[in-house]
């Protein structure tokens, strides 16, 4: 119970800090819009024949371009929260000089990542509501009520991404100057999850990697339920893959985080940056 209170407090603290930087708040909503959504939408629309994106229909079984892009943005946003809020959050504490005092509290160190996950996910939900509002109003975004059926898949994917965040937090603590690492791995993870295009279009050598990511399955299930996209695999198999990869990644992340922490305690690098 105490750990839950601590996690909620950490999440609240992150949201309070973020709300103090209003330009950053606005930028976090509009940057994905003008750097990702709008260029992708206009690029996709440039292939449209008589107002229908027939190519997309042939590829994924629906010509709902706005739906395809905005739903990709949901999983890309979830990946970004895991990488930047949860994983890279440790680095921010390091920069602010608050990592050592936080580490000295009786709260378990794993709880810090959970707390950051809570804060990050609340912000993620709020920003998605705004983005979807803009999508519906400005881009003709439409999706089926069946999107609700994808919520369980998203919840499982979130658990898997917390595992990834543990893994990343461990790496970030060890390599310290992790900006480039987080930036590039975030991009690769998001791309391999099929947020921008179906994973079947990835080079053959990269497709097995895509199948190791819970977000790949969550992406596919979300598009199936929300816009009637054609499933890449049998949906039952996709749920199985989602659960299996989450069951693998979560303990793997916890183990890597514990190893990194132990290594830092031995080497005395907690306060270095």
Residues in contact with other proteins by CB under 8 A are 23-24, 27, 31, 34-35, 38-40, 42-49, 53-60, 65, 180, 184, 187-188, 191, 196-198, 201-202
Which residue from 255, 246, 226 is spatially nearest to 82, judged by alpha carbons?
Answer: 246
Say how many residues make up the chain: 273
Distance CA 167, CA 153 (A): 21
CB of 216 to other proteins, least distance (A): 15
CB of 187 or CB of 243, closer to other proteins: 187
CB of 55 or CB of 228, closer to other proteins: 55
Which residue from 245, 177, 258, 170 is spatially nearest to 209, judged by alpha carbons?
Answer: 245
CB of 68 or CB of 250, closer to other proteins: 68
CB of 210 to other proteins, least distance (A): 12
CB of 64 or CB of 246, closer to other proteins: 64
Distance CA 242, CA 36 (A): 26
CB of 242 to other proteins, least distance (A): 22
CB of 248 to other proteins, least distance (A): 26
Q: Report which secondary-structure segment, H or E, holds 24.
A: helix 22-31
CB of 218 or CB of 229, closer to other proteins: 229
Distance CA 210, CA 198 (A): 10
CB of 130 to other proteins, least distance (A): 17
CA distances from 86 to 26, 72, 182 (A): 20, 20, 11
């Amino acid at each position: 119970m105490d750990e839950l209170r601590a996690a909620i407090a950490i999440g609240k603290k992150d949201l309070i800090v973020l709300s103090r930087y209003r330009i950053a708040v606005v930028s976090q909503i509009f940057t994905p819009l003008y750097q990702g959504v709008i260029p992708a939408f206009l690029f996709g629309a440039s292939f449209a024949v008589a107002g229908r994106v027939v190519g997309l229909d042939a590829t994924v079984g629906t010509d709902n371009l706005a739906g395809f892009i905005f739903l990709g943005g949901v999983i890309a946003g979830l990946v970004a929260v895991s990488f930047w809020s949860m994983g890279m959050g440790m680095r921010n504490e390091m920069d602010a000089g608050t990592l050592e005092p936080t580490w000295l509290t009786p709260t378990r160190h794993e709880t810090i990542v959970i707390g950051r996950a809570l804060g990050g996910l609340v912000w993620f939900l709020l920003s998605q509501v705004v983005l979807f509002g803009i999508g519906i109003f400005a881009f003709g975004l439409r999706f089926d009520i069946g999107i609700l059926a994808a919520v369980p898949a998203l919840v499982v994917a979130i658990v898997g991404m917390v595992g990834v965040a543990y893994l990343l937090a461990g790496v970030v603590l060890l390599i310290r100057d992790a900006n480039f690492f987080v930036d590039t791995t975030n991009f690769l993870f998001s791309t391999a999850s099929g947020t921008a295009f179906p994973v079947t279009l990835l080079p053959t050598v990269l497709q097995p990697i895509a199948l190791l990511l819970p977000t790949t399955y969550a992406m596919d299930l979300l598009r199936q339920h929300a816009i009637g996209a054609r499933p890449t695999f049998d949906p039952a198999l996709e749920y199985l893959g989602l659960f299996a990869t989450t069951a693998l990644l979560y303990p793997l992340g916890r183990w890597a985080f514990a190893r990194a922490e132990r290594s830092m305690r031995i080497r005395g690098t907690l306060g270095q940056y």
